[in-house]
Every structure is written in C-alpha cells, then in structure tokens.
C-alpha cells in the first residue's frame, strides 16, 4: 500500500490522493486500507517514516565508508542523498519529509526538518566526534532549512533538478557551516 501511495502522490499530489484511489492502485479492498490506516494522512505519515528510515540507512552506509575524511564530507553526503532521493524515490519529490502534509508529521514536538537535523547531528557526532561543539545542532538545523529550500527550488525549476541551484545550495551550506563550525570545532578539540 505504501508503494501505491508513493506512486499516486507523484501522479495526483497529496490533495488528489484518496483512500479509494489507494485501494484501487494497491489492488486491495478499501476495508484493508482502513484496517491499517485511519485516513490518508496516516498513510502518508507511514510513507514518510519509511522514507526517513531509508534516508538514514543510506547515510549510515555512506558514513561507515572510509571515503569521508571530515565533517564536511558527511554534510555533502547528506545533500547528495537528499538530491538522489528527489530523483529516484517515488513520492519523495512531492512529500519530501512530510512538510507538504504537516510540519510536524515526523514528530509532534519538532518540525520535520528539526527531526532531520537531529539525525544528521547524531550521525556527524558519532562519525567525526563533534560532541561539545557549541551550537552545533542549531547551526545544522539552519543549514538543513536552507538546503531544503534551495533543493526544492532546483526541482521546481527543472524535473531533474536545476544543477546551478544545486551548486549554489552546496556553496551556501558549505560557507555557512564552515564559518559557524570550523572555529568551534577547533576550540572543542582537546589539546
């Protein structure tokens, strides 16, 4: 049902999605849809959570490789995976991480990009030992918001993503994080 939901969201958008359409596409009885999901919001929330898990799994794999030599490589990997998912994962281009439906779809207490920033902070801290860097989580959330907005712009401009906008998104995030974090990272290092 989630695969059918992803396809439909790309075809008709969130507003056009109905449980009836979903049941038809998934080739299940409408009662089966309601057995698992009370409404279309719950279906989209489940799809969004699955997408978040996939994104984090992709990043875990990238972070586990030896190709990342510093924290910026991890940020770059996060941007790469976000762009790749826009291009390849059904439903992602429309839903992203659920903000089209509800800014608090992933977590009632934090907005969706805040959840993403928390997960990125965890991964970056584990991989690059960034604990103790002052305001790290805050600056990462600002960077996530900026990157998200610019990547959405790139895909509104061109179906495959406007490369010029993507380059600018990377440059903006890189410059911002370097300016905010490099001095703090050095200050937090022992010795």
Q: What is the reported pLDDT for 55?
A: 93
pLDDT at position 185: 54
Looking at residue 190, what is its pLDDT? 54
Three-class DSSP labels, the chain: CHHHHHHHHHHHHHHHCCHHHHHHHHCCCHHHHHHHCCCHHHHHHHHHHHHHHHHHHHHHHHHHCCCCCCHHHHHHHHHHHHHHHHHHCCCHHHHCCCCCCCCCCCCCCCCHHHHHHHHHHHHHHHHHCCCCCCCHHHHHHHHHHHHHHHHHHHHHHCCCCCHHHHHHHHHHHHHHHHHHHHHHHHHHCCC
CA 147-143-165 angle, 5° bins? 25
The pTM (predicted TM-score) of the whole model is 0.85
Measured over all CA atoms, what is the biggest interatomic distance in the chain, rounded to whole angstroms?
65
- For the stretch 8-47, pLDDT in tens is 999 999 999 999 999 999 999 999 999 999 999 999 999 9
Low-confidence ranges of the chain (pLDDT < 50): 191
Pick the CATH number of 48-188 from 3.40.50.300, 3.10.20.30, 1.10.357.10, 3.20.170.30: 1.10.357.10
The per-residue pLDDT for 184 is 56
- What pLDDT score was predicted for residue 189? 54
Surface-to-core class of residue 26, CB atoms within 10 Å of its CB (0-12 exposed, 13-18 middle, 19+ buried):
middle
Confidence at residue 187, expressed as pLDDT on a 0 to 100 scale: 54
What is the pLDDT at residue 5?
94
First-last CA distance in the chain:
54
């Amino acid at each position: 049902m989630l695969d059918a939901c992803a396809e439909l969201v790309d075809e008709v958008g969130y507003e056009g999605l109905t449980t009836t359409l979903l049941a038809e596409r998934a080739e299940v009885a409408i009662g089966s849809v309601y057995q698992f999901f009370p409404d279309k919001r719950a279906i989209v929330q489940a799809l969004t959570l699955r997408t978040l898990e996939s994104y984090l799994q992709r990043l875990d794999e990238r972070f586990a490789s030896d190709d990342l030599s510093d924290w910026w490589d991890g940020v770059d990997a996060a941007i790469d995976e976000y762009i790749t998912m826009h291009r390849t994962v059904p439903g992602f281009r429309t839903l992203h991480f659920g903000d089209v439906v509800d800014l608090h779809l992933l977590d009632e207490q934090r907005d969706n990009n805040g959840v993403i920033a928390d997960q990125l902070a965890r991964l970056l801290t584990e991989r690059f030992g960034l604990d103790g860097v002052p305001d790290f989580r805050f600056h990462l959330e600002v960077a996530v918001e900026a990157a998200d907005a610019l990547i959405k712009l790139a895909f509104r401009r061109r179906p495959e993503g406007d490369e010029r906008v993507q380059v600018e998104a990377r440059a903006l995030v890189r410059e911002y994080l370097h300016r905010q974090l490099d001095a703090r990272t050095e200050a937090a290092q022992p010795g």
